[in-house]
Structure 1
């Protein structure tokens, strides 16, 4: 067994220093996936991310003829994508080789071919599912609306439930269609094929609709889910907002213990429409959609107390438009 194999800790016990891992990867989706995998592994780690070879060189103190002057402690492990822009991962390996201290660091070469194929299959499945379900679902919504209209024109007795049932079918169908569209939008976002179209979006309505959709899940966990919303419009993409609201609220419900509280707020702050999800859980992330819509996300979290996610989106010039 080599010295590097003996020195590299496969795990770290509670109280020991975290394993310092340098991830050299230019794809944000793969960076997020690596973070999630490390979090799931329960390994106590300190992850450094370099999106280019140049950033990795700065962290490792390269290039240099003598001993490298590293920015902080030496990494215990390097996760390296070879297909990097400008300078490849091969170039970084060549620069590390002459230095004994860097040569001893284990390097794991990352290959994204299998992940890309899995992502392609997922996108194809969701696109096909969207087509197969959306067409009949649209018909169901249309028929429910037609039944409700005809029942109203017939002037049936008030105790007749047909009109109410038709309304519930239409409302439930529209909710399911929105959820389906959200799934397809999320698939495109993860595949980086998502184009956002800025338009006036009613944050209050989106927050209320999502809270109603997830209320049963919150009640099942014994959570107090409530809204504190003002009539606020933001300039954003409706599908993108749906992704953000649903992910934030679903995570808040998922990671809040029984008897906890989840609060959804919308309000105006200067030239921004603000969406806020606060919980008493352990804490959680869909920053990408927010950033692509020209917004900002702020996270305030404290272990054992909870988290507050605040999303600021560009406001519409006319709140009533």
Structure 2
């Protein structure tokens, strides 16, 4: 199945600069040609989604098709950001994929209760990360229909 749709915007909320760089490299290696924007914590994520502060100009915050969200971030953690997204009528339809190192059953249960669409453990090796990125891209951008 060939994807003939226009590129989507992927919004990644990740506080660790090394993880952001590795994710960037994994998306490139996976051949994912969508627009990727990064924010550094849950507060900046919400600023992006509400087009506030440095994201107030339209080109600085295009509407994301999906959000990849880390749980453990400063200022506003991923759980609080997810809770806010899923309680906002204008944002709640955006699929949110939790991508974190936490294997805690409590974290997994809580984020699904809050409305997360998927829970993915960050792998420890780059090859597996590329495989995950390919799978996420295929599923979210080629198989399912996303809300507009």
Q: Which TM-score tier does this pair reach, normalised by the shorter chain?
A: 0.5 to 0.7
1:100 corresponding residue in structure 2: 89
**TM-score, reference length from structure 1:** 0.28
1:22 and 2:11 matched: yes
Residue 111 (structure 1) shift: 1.6
Classify 1:12/1:46 alpha carbon distance in 2 versus 1 (closer, same or farther; 3 Å): farther
1:79 corresponding residue in structure 2: 68
Matches for 1:1-321 after TM superposition, within 5 Å? 12-13=3-4, 16-61=5-50, 72-112=61-101, 118=124
Residue 58 (structure 1) shift: 1.2
**TM-score, reference length from structure 2:** 0.58
1:240 corresponding residue in structure 2: none
What is the CA–CA distance in structure 2 between the aligned matches of 1:85 and 1:94, rounded to whole Å?
A: 16
What is the CA–CA distance in structure 2 between the aligned matches of 1:54 and 1:62, rounded to whole Å?
A: 12
What is the CA–CA distance in structure 2 between the aligned matches of 1:52 and 1:112, rounded to whole Å?
A: 16
Residue 81 (structure 1) shift: 0.4
Contact (CA 8 Å) 1:80, 1:109: kept in 2 or not? yes
When the two chains are superposed, the root-mean-square deviation of aligned CA atoms in Å is: 2.7
Q: Secondary structure at the match of 1:82?
A: coil
What is the CA–CA distance in structure 2 between the aligned matches of 1:62 and 1:91, rounded to whole Å?
A: 18
What is the CA–CA distance in structure 1 between the aligned matches of 2:61 and 2:40, rounded to whole Å?
A: 18
Tell me which structure has the larger Cα radius of gyration: 1
Structure with greater contact order relative to length (CA < 8 Å, sep ≥ 6): 2
Structure ranking higher in strand proportion:
1
Where in structure 1 do 4 or more consecutive aligned residues deviate above 3 Å? 69-72, 113-116
Residue 86 (structure 1) shift: 2.3
The gaps in structure 1 that reach 5 residues or longer are 1-10, 64-68, 120-321
Count of aligned residue pairs for this structure pair = 101
